[in-house]
Structure 1
Amino acid sequence: MTRTELHQRLAVRGLGGELEKLLQYSRDCIRLYPKSVAEADIALGSTKIGGMPDLPQGLEWPTEMITTTTTEKRFLFLNREKKIETPRSLSFIAQVNFAELCVFDTGSTLPDNGILYFFYCQDQMAWGFDPADQNRFRVIYHKGDLSLLERRGFPRDIDADAKLIACGIGARSEISLPAYYHHVYDEMGKDKAEQIMDSFEGQNVNKLLGQPDVIQNEMELECELVTNGLFCGDPSGYNDPRAAQLEPNAKDWRLLLQIDSNEQNDYMWGDSGRLYFWIKEADLEARRFEKTWCILQCY
């Protein structure tokens, strides 16, 4: 929604006086509207979710290392476990053509050229609370000659249910509201906050930048702790002595991309969940997209 649309929605419910409060904490975003379209009709290098990536020549399809354990027979009564690491292809999630979308980037936050590719593990088991998950997703920035792109077919080890159906993208400059746990809603009171939340229920939440549409819990502190080696799948990481020192840095994290469970590509993250790709503001400014962190949340 735009600022004008936000004002209209609030005014209809007698909440126009809350507009300025919300705008203080809302953030500009590029809303991504998935469109059902045959992949053959999506131009090479265009922004899309799912399908096959349009990769530059020479760029290998990214993989993760999978560890399996086998039992090796040594003697009559003595066996030894042996760990074997093998590469497994990641699932292609989306590609973003900055030249197409820079006109919608009101804050000039993103590059004005190049393509950003997003990959994630096939089994959807990287929740993002474990430092070991860094091997299980990949974000790649290509700013070379786009005329040399090629639509890359799926590797043989990509499972059928890890192949997202391609969908085109329409884009729009909008704003996004802070998540439900934000203190601005406490300040305006429970009744008003519930009316605001209800009025935006069901809106499209695929986007670049902006405020996250949280399903479970806020993620900024989790990103800071886990990227500094603290396990956040239980309270141990949050109770670690280093957590207090790292906590102030949580404010540096920004949402880069949010992908919902979309009907257009017939795909669901967990139980009607979402993928969130996060990046530190300094890394975004320096175009260090390889430092992105991924979190999966679902209901």
Structure 2
Amino acid sequence: MDNKEQLFDRLKANGLDKYFDKLEPIVRNTIRLYLTSCSEDSIPIGQSKIGGKPDLPASFSWFTETNTKTTKKLWIFGKETEQTITKSLSFIAQINLSQISQFDSENLLPKNGILYFFYADEQDAWGFDIKDQNKFKIIYFDGDLTTLKRFEFPEDLENSRFRPCLIEAKQEISLPSYGYGLDEEMKFTDDEADIYYDKIYEDGNINKLLGYSDNIQGEMELECELVTNGLYCGDPSGYNDPSAKELEPNAKNWRLLLQIDSNDENDMMWGDCGRLYFWIKKEDLVNKQFDKSWFSLQCS
């Protein structure tokens, strides 16, 4: 949906225009990313893209994750030994902000520089454990773009050499998805809720910057807050922890930074037709503190 005028027209056409005044204040700007498959050679170095090979500063190295593997020798008095294993992360996207920030009506993104997104090659992290913190990287580079070079895939990157796609960005609006409690807030009837999710809310193009996340399993902001404060959310223990109640109000500070779908154009598949979400607190986004980000993976 392009703008609030279209939202009003769609609400009116479906008999829900009485809710416009309550919906309008919570609408968020989003930057939809429309993909076109192409060859790597047709994408200029430093251009925004999803998939393919990253254009990093020549002084950089390909980003990796480091894990410790513990093994024990078979005999009875054998000692445990630890082995450090380093593995390349998969390259997800690079966003040239000088090309994209013009669509950011809320002025949340930096105006210049490049954001790089990486994630675990084996997709063995879902974001509900603080131990996953080395399974993804969001890197912000605001230096001289003439120092960029296109990196070749590392030999150990086996599962995720994604096809490159050019990005066409478009400014649109974003509405709350499933799991945000909108039904209760608006006091929809059951029929009205069905109409809202079928006719008003739309998640046709999932790839986007900012706005609301298009949830598969429910909202993720609370999980981001709890996990980044050391609580495990792979089971109810983190949510039931005594400190969770104190942390819960902070969930509202988290914002979607980038959302990537399972895309045929890239040959990307996240779990079972899932989505990859990168998150950041609004204050950290404004202050360009991308090292404080988090991520989630959801699938059906």
Quick one: percent identity of the two aligned structures?
53
8 Å contact kept, 1:98–1:113: yes
Separation of aligned partners in 1, 2:161 and 2:268: 9
RMSD of equivalent CA atoms: 1.6
8 Å contact kept, 2:180–2:219: no
8 Å contact kept, 1:21–1:184: no
Unaligned 5+ segments in structure 1 are: none
Calculate the TM-score normalised by the size of structure 2: 0.94
Separation of aligned partners in 1, 2:116 and 2:76: 51
What per-residue deviation string (whole Å, max 9, x for no partner) do you get for residues 34-83 of structure 1? 1112221111111111110000111111111122233446xx75322312
Matches within 5 A, 1:133-212: 133-159=132-158, 161-186=159-184, 187-199=187-199, 200=201, 203-212=204-213
TM-superposed CA distance for 1:202, in Å, is 5.3
Unaligned 5+ segments in structure 2 are: none
Calculate the TM-score normalised by the size of structure 1: 0.94
Tell me the equivalent position of 1:250: 251
TM-superposed CA distance for 1:201, in Å, is 5.1
Matches within 5 A, 1:266-281: 266-281=267-282
8 Å contact kept, 2:225–2:250: yes
What per-residue deviation string (whole Å, max 9, x for no partner) do you get for residues 114-171 of structure 1? 0000000011111000010001111100000111110100111100x21111111111
Letter in 2 for 1:117: Y
What per-residue deviation string (whole Å, max 9, x for no partner) do you get for residues 165-224 of structure 1? 111111111111112233432312221221121125551011111011111021111111
Partner SS, residue 69 of structure 2: strand
Separation of aligned partners in 2, 1:251 and 1:235: 20
Which moved further from structure 2: 274-283 or 32-41? Answer: 32-41
Tell me the equivalent position of 2:260: 259
Separation of aligned partners in 2, 1:33 and 1:41: 17
Partner SS, residue 193 of structure 1: helix
Matches within 5 A, 1:1-299: 1-3=1-3, 4-72=5-73, 77-159=76-158, 161-186=159-184, 187-199=187-199, 200=201, 203-299=204-300
Letter in 2 for 1:263: D
Letter in 2 for 1:132: K
Separation of aligned partners in 1, 2:62 and 2:90: 9
Separation of aligned partners in 1, 2:43 and 2:137: 23
